[in-house]
């Protein structure tokens, strides 16, 4: 039979083929790469916003912007960093690594995986486009407090609400995919208690996502109906209560901060044993501690609201619950330190980032315990002390952990070793930048400098200048990180299959670079 000319598919342009390959891919490694690229791009955008408003705060008085624009940048910085930089980065790592760690050929629901990624660029386009709309971007802080976001919010708030819905859908679909993959596609012989800790922490994070994200979706929908459909959920004159908003938001918001930190715990638990050349100390207690943190994360939200006039018994409950959640977290820190104890340690870049994570996350944890003491919180509340605490937990906890993971697995992904010298420069500049930025904030906060305000009194000027210098170092050094990653992708010293001397786990049994398809026949785990 002769094929007619019109039935032969026309040859596609190479660029079209390239675009279609990436848009339509269902391969977990490619989707993982897409997530990581998107999160890094948004990380740079969120970081640029921070550098701009830190430049404003370098000196007292108004230098570069109006108070309204400052508030817009502040709001978008929070939203972009939480939903755009941290969460997609961890989902990208999960996509890349979980199938390889459990000996699965791919994620359980590959098409859903593709869909849950491609929702995100549109969500962030909606969010960032609000900067160019009439009335400007949302300007009420990333916590979206009513009535600032309902009665007084700019018209672009609706785009923010729609964007958050899309991000929430993406997160929930991604979480379902991860749970199904872990439960159904583990290699024969891999029981739950033989899973790597990164897989464990992500399994628990996925359950947190499924429980927390619908609450956020609910509360932003109530904002929408308050704005346009005449309801009064958060409007006191109509019988509502703005405090309800805070309660519902933080019921999502506190599990959310653990969603952003648990995968980081998992990464540290992979890296530290490798470079300490010892098995992880207390594997079972690490798993139980993670479950305990996840359970308790739903009963501590009120510590954000000590100053709102809660009944004394309620304040006491939240205060003790918050102190209680410090116990399983302390167990984890103890286990990491015990793993390093008397190990034959070497300090490659992933290990440096992992140790930096443990040390600075612990500092952030201690300032969190200070904030948990209700009577003292009245002094700290809404000052820069809270900003210092938040960033000491989140930056090392999420960003350092992600960077440690990239340095740790990049040789496996690309087949090339990264430049160790440049990696160490990146680490030390990040540590100096981080501490220079956020450490002074503890002191200006204790002295009473309020957060989210564009101008400040003269006595705070010296420390603020330090913080701005640190922020600029921190921001500019991320370009070095980008350079290191691109340089590694393009070539360099070839990595072995094992990459690291004492790395354990299924992902190190596949060749470097990792083939497009891994584990067509599942490996047996003894």
Catalytic site residue from 278, 332, 426, 442 = 332
Catalytic residue (one of 29, 77, 381, 389): 77
How far apart CA 402 and CA 411 sit, in angstroms, is: 15
On whether both 37 and 149 belong to a single domain, the answer is yes
Catalytic residue among 158, 256, 315, 377: 256
Report how far residue 169's alpha carbon sits from residue 164's, in angstroms, rounded to the nearest whole number: 9
DSSP characters over 303-346: GGGGGG---HHHHHHHHHHHHHHHHHHHHHHHHHHHHHTT----
Name the active-site residue from 39, 156, 170, 468.
170
Q: Are residues 128 and 202 in the same domain?
A: yes
Q: Is 442 a catalytic residue?
A: no
Residue 15 lies in a domain: no
Residue with tokens 């679909």: 173
303 counts as catalytic: yes
The pLDDT, as a whole number, for residue 526 is: 79
Is 269 part of the annotated catalytic residue set? Answer: yes
Q: Residue 276 falls within a domain, yes or no?
A: yes
Tell me the C-alpha to C-alpha distance, in Å, between residue 68 and each of 53, 91, 140, 395. Answer: 12, 34, 10, 26
130 is catalytic: no
The reply to whether 267 and 163 lie within a common domain is: no
Asked if 142 is an active-site residue, the reply is yes
Overall residue count recorded for the chain in this entry: 526
- Specify which residues 416 forms β-bridges with: 494
How many helices (DSSP H) and strands (DSSP E) are in the chain?
17, 0
Q: Residue 167 domain-assigned? A: yes
Does the annotation mark 381 as catalytic? Answer: no
Catalytic residue among 75, 150, 157, 269: 269
Distance CA 92, CA 101 (A): 14
Say whether 258 is catalytic.
Answer: yes
Asked if residue 345 is part of any domain, the answer here is yes
Query: Is residue 482 included in any domain, yes or no?
Result: yes
Q: Which domain holds residue 424?
A: 263-513
254, 381, 391, 426: which one is catalytic? 254
| Residue 114 belongs to domain with CATH number | 1.20.210.10
292 in the same domain as 157:
no
pLDDT of residue 5: 53
Inter-axis angle of helices 28-56 and 87-102, to 10 degrees? 150
Shared domain for 272 and 251, answered yes or no, is no
Query: 329 an active-site residue?
Result: yes
3-class DSSP state for residue 204? Answer: helix
Active-site choice (278, 303, 426, 442) = 303
Q: Has 77 been annotated as catalytic?
A: yes
| 332 assigned to active site | yes
402-458 residue pLDDT tens: 999 999 999 999 999 999 999 999 999 999 999 999 999 999 999 999 999 999 999
Query: In this predicted structure, what is the pLDDT of residue 13?
Result: 85
Query: Is there a catalytic annotation at residue 106?
Result: yes
Evaluate whether residue 20 is within a structural domain: no
User: Tokens at residue 525, please?
Assistant: 């785990």
Q: Are residues 186 and 58 in the same domain?
A: yes
Q: Does residue 8 lie in a domain region? A: no
- Whether 524 sits among the annotated catalytic residues: the reply is no
Q: What share of the chain is helix, strand, coil (3-state, %, to 5)?
A: 70, 0, 25
Which residue is catalytic, options 106, 315, 377, 507? 106
End-to-end CA distance of the chain: 55
SS3 138: coil
Chosen domain end from 230, 260, 290: 260
Rounded CA-CA distance 472/401 in Å is 21
> Could you tell me if 246 and 369 lie in one domain?
no
Q: Where are the alpha helices (DSSP H) in 447-460?
A: none
Residue 231: Cβ-neighbour burial (10 angstroms; 0-12, 13-18, 19+): middle
* Residue 519 in domain: no
243 with 275, same domain? no
Looking at the fold, whether 170 and 268 belong to one and the same domain comes out as no
**Radius of gyration of the chain measured on its C-alpha atoms:** 23
| Same domain as 286, residue 243 | no
The pTM of this model reads 0.95
pLDDT at 487: 96
Catalytic position from the list 202, 258, 408, 418 = 258
Catalytic choice (75, 205, 297, 329): 329
Single out the residue in 260, 293, 325 at which a domain terminates: 260
| Rounded average pLDDT per 10-residue block, the chain, 526 residues | 59 87 94 97 97 95 93 96 96 96 94 96 96 94 93 95 96 97 94 95 97 96 95 92 95 96 97 96 96 96 94 96 96 96 95 97 96 95 96 95 97 95 97 96 95 94 95 95 96 90 91 90 86
Helix axes 461-490, 401-414, angle to 10 degrees: 10
* Annotated catalytic residue, options 171, 322, 349, 518: 171
| Tally of domains within the chain | 2
198 and 69 share one domain: yes
Give the residue from 260, 286, 307 where a domain finishes: 260
- One domain, residues 179 and 285: no
């Amino acid at each position: 039979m002769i094929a007619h000319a019109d039935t032969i598919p026309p040859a596609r342009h190479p660029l079209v083929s390239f675009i279609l390959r990436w848009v339509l891919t269902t391969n977990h490694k490619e989707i993982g790469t897409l997530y990581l690229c998107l999160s890094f791009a948004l990380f740079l955008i969120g970081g640029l916003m921070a550098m701009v408003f830190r430049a404003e705060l370098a000196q007292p008085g108004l230098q570069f912007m109006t108070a309204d624009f400052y508030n817009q940048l502040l709001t978008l910085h929070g939203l972009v960093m939480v939903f755009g930089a941290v969460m997609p980065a961890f989902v990208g790592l999960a996509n890349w690594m979980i199938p390889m760690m459990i000996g699965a050929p791919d994620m359980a629901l590959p098409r859903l995986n593709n869909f849950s990624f491609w929702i995100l660029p549109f969500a962030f386009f909606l969010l960032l486009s609000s900067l160019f709309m009439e009335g400007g971007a949302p300007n009420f802080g990333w916590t979206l407090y009513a009535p600032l976001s309902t009665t007084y919010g700019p018209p672009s708030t609706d785009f923010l609400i729609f964007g958050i819905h899309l991000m929430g859908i993406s997160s929930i679909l991604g979480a379902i995919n991860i749970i199904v993959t872990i439960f159904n596609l583990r290699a024969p012989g891999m029981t739950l208690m033989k899973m790597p800790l990164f897989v464990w922490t992500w399994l628990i994070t996925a359950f947190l996502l499924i429980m927390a994200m619908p609450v956020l979706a609910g509360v932003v929908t109530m904002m929408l109906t308050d704005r346009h459909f005449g309801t009064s959920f958060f409007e006191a004159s109509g019988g509502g209560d703005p405090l309800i908003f805070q309660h519902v938001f933080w019921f999502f918001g506190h599990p959310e901060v653990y969603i952003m930190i648990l995968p980081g715990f998992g990464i540290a638990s992979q890296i530290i044993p490798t470079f300490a050349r010892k098995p992880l100390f207390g594997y079972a207690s690490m798993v139980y501690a993670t479950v305990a943190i996840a359970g308790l994360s739903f009963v501590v939200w009120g510590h954000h609201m000590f100053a709102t006039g809660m009944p004394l018994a309620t304040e006491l409950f939240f205060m003790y619950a918050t102190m209680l959640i410090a116990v399983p977290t302390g167990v984890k820190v103890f286990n990491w330190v015990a793993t390093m104890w008397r190990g034959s340690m070497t300090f490659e870049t992933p290990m440096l980032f992992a140790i930096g994570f443990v040390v600075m996350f612990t500092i952030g944890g201690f300032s969190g315990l200070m904030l948990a003491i209700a009577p003292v919180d009245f002094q700290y509340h809404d000052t820069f002390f809270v900003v210092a605490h938040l960033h000491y937990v989140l930056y090392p906890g999420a960003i350092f952990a992600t960077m440690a993971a990239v340095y740790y697995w990049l040789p496996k992904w690309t087949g090339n070793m990264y430049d160790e010298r440049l990696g160490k420069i990146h680490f030390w500049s990040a540590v100096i930048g981080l501490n220079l930025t956020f450490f002074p904030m503890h002191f200006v906060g204790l002295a009473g400098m309020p957060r989210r305000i564009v101008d400040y009194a003269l006595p705070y000027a010296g420390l603020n200048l330090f913080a701005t210098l640190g922020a600029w170092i921190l921001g500019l050094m991320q370009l070095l990180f980008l350079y290191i990653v691109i340089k590694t992708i393009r070539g360099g010293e070839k990595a072995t299959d094992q990459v690291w001397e004492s790395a354990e786990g299924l992902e190190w049994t596949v060749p470097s670079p990792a083939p497009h398809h891994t584990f067509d026949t599942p490996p047996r785990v003894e």
